[in-house]
Structure 1
Amino acid sequence: MMRQYITGLLLFIAAAVLSACGSPEDKTLSNIETIEGETIPALTETLQNLIDFESEQSGLFNESIADESLDNFKNDQSELYNNLNERTELANSLEEIETDLKSAAEDFKSYDVDDSSELNEEMLTNLSDTSAGLAESLQAVRSGYQDIKNSEISFFESLAADGADYTVMTEGIAAVNEQHEQISEHYTQINEQLAEIRSYGNTVKQALGEETDGETASLEETNTENSGADSKAETAYIVDGETSSIVPADEHTDAKAVLLTIDDAPDQNAVDMAKTLKNLDVPAIFFVNGMFIESEEGQSMLKEIHDLGFEIGNHTYNHFNMQELTPEDVRLEIADTSDLIEEAIGERPRFFRAPFGVNSEASIKVAEEENMTVMNWTYGFDWEPDYQESSALADIMVNTEMLSDGANLLMHDRSWTAEALPDIVTGIQDKGYSFIDPALISSEGGVTE
């Protein structure tokens, strides 16, 4: 019995020694396969879960701020706090992945390829440096989420305190958003590093005559590969072709929500309006006129609005009535504006709004060819003389009978609208409404005639 045990032990040791003494080619391939097959999938799943929790927190915050008692901010057992704690735990779980990547980086660095005819030092240095860099990015995300937790708790407590006012809310949101933006920068860097690891891994595989893999999933791609429930969340609303109201795609989607849209951007006030909405954590569509973004300054302003996280829509080049133009001119008005938008932000718009809400057969056709959903609006007042003053405008936008589930609110790039915007947002939230993220609006539906 003892002899069998010793024999088994010797075989185990021999196998371990042989494994440790494997060729640098085999060890490099094994390391790459572990990273691509285990480490990266675990990483992208964890980060995507964090992003999903962020989206959930935004909705919870809007619901909580609409409750005059602010109970959720006072109760550390509320869903707000639970979400915050779950995000922190997820972020902390990245440490194990971070350790694996550091270990892989050291392994790549330790392999001796002097006698290899296929591998060279540069290949392994690239893999080592990128793995180590990715580990550093994860460490930054973990640290950033701890800062976010402290900041959000402080913010929630300040809202629940006696004497909390609008200034406390906006300053708190701005502080929290600043930290979230830093996390977003890390996510961008991580996506780049994932692509680099795949590229360097494929270089090694090609050198060794192995089959290369497809693209390593980015965070955004991982999101689209999730369950059917997540896919539904990406098309939670559609545009009603008759009324231009925004209606839920199914019974699971929040119906008590409205859409904010801002036309004639970016003229004099759009960037400031975008910053205000960003601080309030409220999404919107900025419908753009091509004439405002032909200059370098206009392109820069549009990029700033887009970089703040806002959807960009097409509002034609010159703001002409579509029914008064030839089909050729309609095409130029719309297509040229989409070209300028793409030049500024790197993507073509998904939504089209005709000036004055007046479409033509040609404008509908061109928008369809450009894969844009056509929408008008359900109400707006800021062009009327009686409402070209901030307090009057805020009052009518919040208290009109037209404020209802799925309302599509029209505003413009105007100074009085920019001034009224905070009161409009908080007034609508006080009535129990949340704001629809345009990213959740399906490309189906919309005005068709």
Structure 2
Amino acid sequence: MTDQSGADEARPGTAGERLTTRETAERLGVKPETVYAYVSRRQLNSSREPGGRGSTFDAAEVDALARRTGRREPPSPAGEPSVRTGITLITGERYYFRGVDAAELATRHSYEEVAEWLWTGELRPGVRFTAPAQTVSAARRAVGALPEHCGSTDRLRVAVVAAAAADPLRFDLSRAAVLGGARSLIPALVAALPTVGRERADGSGSGEAPDGLARQLWPKLTAREPDEASLAVLDTALGLLIDHDLAASTLAARVAASARAHPYAVVSAGLGVLEGPLHGAAGGLAHRMLAEVLERGGAAPVVADHLRAGRQVPGLGHRLYTGEDPRAQTLFGLLAHIPRAAPALAAARDVVATTARDATLYANVDLALAVLSVASDMPAEAGETVFAISRTAGWIAHALEEYGERPLRMRPSGHYTGPRPPQPLPVPDGVLTQ
């Protein structure tokens, strides 16, 4: 892989890949006539295969030209902004990490291994992330200074800032430096969170990870002792949630990377958006709903209360899937083998069945995370914590990709709808004019 500190050095095009004139024009965001103008000015080379009817172009060379000239992203069919990415593809009822089925990848490999695949396109069996003791100490001290009532996302945001301050290399945007920082930041975030049922950390200790990130995270979520099946569900959830195309937090992270913000600032941007009730915090709503279903003995009265209040039923539906969210499907399959999860899993299925009487809405990953958190005596915000820790790796993957693009390319123009100028200068209330 090339160093992404230089835009022209990163070549996302597959080696040897050839593009047609139409494909080249689309990738450059220009008309076919302009493509041939590039050829005539020797900015682009074309070739004609024996017996071929048209010219073909080297994909890597086209991508390099696009970065030099300022590639325009193609509009999506819905008129929404579109960003080229080689990280995640969502199609039909599945999603893929670099072309590999994401659910299968997360089921068979640890979170750290999935993260490495997303970052590098290479699988590193047995990889473990570690954090320097200095970074962990700084993050724990910063988190320990927060009020007791602060939520996990508050703590993670503060921990990211502290970890950044402890890293003098944070402004180095070379690929090696970014990856090194990411491999230490994620375990530092986990280490900075207080352990459930214990006194708050005093700032000592290291971020060594002999047993993997899921086992480290578990005691930050619940005082219950973990069993291997539950740890496997948590590890799989972390792998499944690493990325999901350009979700709102990921777009914010890419905007920050486009401005060449360092990776810690990129993660901070993602965390700021993640806390919204329509994104990462949705898991807490699903947790509370499931707990209420168990308390009241059925989903019908709980669903009725949500609808009566004009609220959507949490944990159902996803705009990108017409059927069940594949992440939920995978987690439900694993949770079915944990006896302790049976009541919460039955409650989740009751919610789905109850709402299906009027409209077919399938479970999404928030409902599956809620089953895990309710069954494991975790707090309502546990799903949000899992989401934030996991997605940090995805934001880093998108930052690496964005660092190879033209800087500040994500700068849309505003559509002004205010008063037309010139307007008179404003006058404070109560002041008489001559």
Give the TM-score taking structure 2 as reference length: 0.26
Greater Rg over alpha carbons, structure: 1
Give the TM-score taking structure 1 as reference length: 0.25
Give the strand-richer structure, 1 or 2: 1
Give the helix-richer structure, 1 or 2: 1
